[in-house]
């Protein structure tokens, strides 16, 4: 009796892998670094982290000029061609300023949600991060986690906030307070970044609507005073009671601080 031919699956990806060492197999699975033209790299959509020409940028440019780009950037393919940068925006700016044509990049296929989460996590490792950068980064990651898990229940949304906090090493309440800053008008948010307004008063002011925030800005300019936490809390209470106005804000901001 003849036996039929049978294919035995050894769990190997190819004949050559049968003769590889474990280290060689691991090396074949490592992400590949490619030298990509700078013209094919597009910044991440709504990237919340600013690329500034400061002392750190000058130091980065000197390092790249002396030794090249030591750490490859991360990008994903775009539907229309080219690549969307996920991490490495400062390296891209430095390479462009130095007149370079290409830089090392690892390319990965990531969903929109995976790309946002990876972008936020990689940039939050930076030493100096502005409050506004954290605010929009935390919000983007929270929205991505909720969409990724299709979170619709109150419990699922709470778990998403806790996940963002755990990854960042801060409490869920801190995450919520930072995200409140995204409700500030740009002028007020800039003042928070510039330390003209402290974080806690800024959180309270975020409960004012846009017209109230602009009236507050005028009152702050007129009195030349920065708000204390107690003043910001009073202004928030007055706004929620429907008793807020420019005159009221001016009177509160003009009071002598204890």
| Tens digits of residue pLDDT in 177-194 | 999 999 999 999 999 999
Which strands sit side by side in the sheet containing 41-42, from one edge to the other?
A: 33-37, 102-107, 73-77, 83-87, 41-42
Q: Which structure tokens are listed for 112?
A: 């929109």
pLDDT for residue 20: 62
Name the β-bridge partners of 106: 33, 74
Structure confidence by residue, pLDDT tens digits, 140-187: 999 998 887 655 556 556 678 888 888 888 899 999 999 999 999 999
Q: Is the pLDDT of residue 5 over 50?
A: no
d(Cα 119, Cα 213) in Å, to the nearest integer? 31
Task: State how far Cα 71 lies from the chain centre.
Answer: 19
Judge whether residue 25 has pLDDT over 60: no
The Cα-based distances of 92 to 1, 106, 148 in angstroms read 68, 13, 29
Predicted confidence (pLDDT) per residue in 191-244, tens digit: 999 999 999 999 999 999 999 999 999 999 999 999 999 999 999 999 999 999
Residues 121-135 have a mean pLDDT of: 90
Q: How far apart are the two ends of the chain, measured CA to CA in Å?
A: 102
CA distances from 218 to 18, 185, 189, 198, 250 (A): 74, 13, 15, 18, 8
pLDDT at 31 over 80: no
Torsion of CA 28, 33, 34, 36, to 10 degrees: 160
Count helices and strands (H / E) in the chain: 12, 5
Higher pLDDT, 255 or 72: 72
**Mean pLDDT for all residues in the chain:** 87
Residue 12 pLDDT exceeds 70: no
Question: How far apart, in whole angstroms, are the C-alpha atoms of residue 255 and residue 257?
Answer: 6
Confidence of residue 65 (pLDDT cuts 50, 70, 90): very high
More confident residue, 122 or 5: 122
pLDDT value at residue 252? 95
Whole-number percent of the chain with pLDDT over 90: 70
DSSP state of 73: E
- Is the per-residue pLDDT at 4 higher than 60? no
| pLDDT bucket at 11, cuts 50 / 70 / 90 | very low
- 28 pLDDT band, cuts 50/70/90, is very low
**What whole-number percentage of the chain has pLDDT above 70?**
83
What does the CA dihedral 230, 235, 240, 242 come to, rounded to 10 degrees? Answer: 150
């Amino acid at each position: 009796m003849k036996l039929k031919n049978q294919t035995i699956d050894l769990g190997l990806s190819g004949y050559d892998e049968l003769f590889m060492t474990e280290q060689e197999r691991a090396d074949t699975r490592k992400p590949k670094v490619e030298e990509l033209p700078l013209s094919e790299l597009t910044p991440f959509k709504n990237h919340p982290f600013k690329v500034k020409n400061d002392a750190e940028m000058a130091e980065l440019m000197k390092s790249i000029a002396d030794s090249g780009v030591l750490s490859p950037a991360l990008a994903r393919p775009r539907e229309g061609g080219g690549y969307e940068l996920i991490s490495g925006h400062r390296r891209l700016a430095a390479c462009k300023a130095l007149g370079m044509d290409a830089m090392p990049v690892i390319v990965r296929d990531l969903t929109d949600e995976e790309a946002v989460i990876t972008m936020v996590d990689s940039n939050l490792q930076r030493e100096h991060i502005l409050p506004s950068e954290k605010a929009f980064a935390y919000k983007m990651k929270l929205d991505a986690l909720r969409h990724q898990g299709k979170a619709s229940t109150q419990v699922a949304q709470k778990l998403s906030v806790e996940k963002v906090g755990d990854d960042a090493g801060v409490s869920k309440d801190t995450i919520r307070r930072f995200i409140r800053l995204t409700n500030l008008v740009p002028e007020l948010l800039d003042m928070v970044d510039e330390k003209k307004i402290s974080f806690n008063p800024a959180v309270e002011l975020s409960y004012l609507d846009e017209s109230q925030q602009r009236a507050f800005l005028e009152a702050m300019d007129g009195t030349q005073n920065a708000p204390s936490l107690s003043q910001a809390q009073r202004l928030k209470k007055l706004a929620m009671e429907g008793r807020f106005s420019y005159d009221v804000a001016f009177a509160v901001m003009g009071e002598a601080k204890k």
